[in-house]
């Protein structure tokens, strides 16, 4: 089995979205290696996250072809 690793940019996350929310959602597509949600100077997320994953070759195509809803927000 050939594995590949990708880092996805997840845009338009809700202000209340957590790393746990993203990890839980994206684990159904492959192994989540890391979730990063950058924060601004006031401690709020910048409505963007980065999810690093590994999975079978071509797994990222399944993720990026449709819109996804995480924490009630289309991302």
pTM of the model: 0.78
Backbone angles phi, psi at 19, to 5 degrees: -60, -40
Backbone angles phi, psi at 54, to 5 degrees: -125, 150
Residue-level pLDDT at 49: 96
How does the average pLDDT of the chain come out, rounded?
84
- Distance between CA 75 and CA 71 in Å, rounded? 9
53: helix, strand or coil: strand
CATH code: domain 3-67 is: 3.30.70.330
Q: Is 11 exposed, middle or buried (0-12, 13-18, 19+ CB in 10 A)?
A: exposed
39: helix, strand or coil: strand
Write out pLDDT tens, residues 39-60. 999 999 999 999 999 877 766 6
């Amino acid at each position: 089995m050939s594995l590949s690793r990708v880092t996805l940019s997840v845009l338009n996350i809700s202000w209340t979205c957590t790393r746990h929310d993203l990890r839980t959602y994206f684990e159904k597509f492959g192994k989540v290696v890391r979730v990063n949600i950058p924060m601004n100077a006031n401690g709020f997320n910048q409505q963007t996250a980065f999810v690093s994953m590994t999975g079978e070759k071509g797994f990222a195509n399944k993720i990026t072809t449709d819109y996804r809803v995480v924490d009630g927000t289309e991302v």
